[in-house]
Amino acid sequence: MSEDRTTWLKHPLVNMVIGFFLTGVLGTALTQHFLDEREQERMRAQVALDTKQAIQQFSKLNEERMVRAKMMLTALRSTSDPDEVKTIRQEYEKAYVAWSVERPGTLLLFRNLLSSENYQLVETGIRESLVGKIFDPIRLCMMTALGHRDDRAAANESLEACGIDELLKHSSTCSLALAAAVSDLAGTHSQWVTTEDISKLQKQARDSIAKLCP
């Protein structure tokens, strides 16, 4: 019986059928494996591109607002004529409006890139720190100083009282911290990142925001 089975297994047709079967199974498995790897690479590349575009939009809006604020500050502290101050204020207002209008779209991009937990961390940092403790006080400070535009000494005094230089410094560092957090956390919203790596990146983002944002 054993000899008959061995003889049967040695039959060329049997070997051909078994080889054909194994080739099909292994070939399909290998093909699927390579397709899965390519899909993951495509997804990583798309996440990286989406993250770059979202951060560029966020950073551009913040930088434009900060630059216009610094120009306004220079005008208020100098002996600029009223027309120049008026022009600079108009540009400052444009930057403020652009930021206000485009912020929801930027947050939507962040929401699509981040997990719910990580989005909450970034959104809270933007709303409470960047807007509530930096941008809004800067705007209030500028408007108060503009109310003293006919009295440069009073204008400078109000600027110093609200700590405008420190606010502008925080504007830059906090914006960078939030952008870096999005960059680091965007890649964690996927199946190819370990739980340990996610925890490390989340802690790094929280610590950076807490340190660089008021």
pLDDT in tens, 39-87: 566 666 677 777 888 899 999 989 999 999 999 998 888 866 788 888 8
Single pTM value for the model: 0.77
Q: What is the pLDDT of residues 128-145, one digit of tens each?
A: 999 999 999 999 999 999
Please tell me which of 19-23, 33-37, 86-90, 126-130 the model is most confident about, judged by mean pLDDT: 126-130
Residue with the bigger pLDDT between 165 and 152: it is 165
Judging by beta carbons within 10 Å of its beta carbon (0-12, 13-18, 19+), is residue 104 exposed, middle or buried? exposed
Specify the DSSP element, H or E, that contains 87: helix 82-113
- d(CA 124, CA 132) in angstroms, rounded, equals 10
pLDDT, mean of residues 81-107 = 89
Helix extents (H) in 114-163: 116-124, 136-146, 152-161
The answer to whether 162 and 142 have CB atoms below 8 angstroms apart is no
Q: How far apart are CA 187 and CA 131, in angstroms?
A: 26
Angle between helix 164-186 and helix 195-212 axes, rounded to 10 deg: 170
Can you read off the two tokens belonging to residue 177? 């911290």
What percent of the chain stands above pLDDT 70? 75
Amino acid, single-letter form, for residue 57 = Q
Q: What are 24's two structure tokens?
A: 């099909």
3-class secondary structure, 162: coil
Q: Return the axis-axis angle of helices 164-186 and 116-124, rounded to nearest 10°.
A: 170
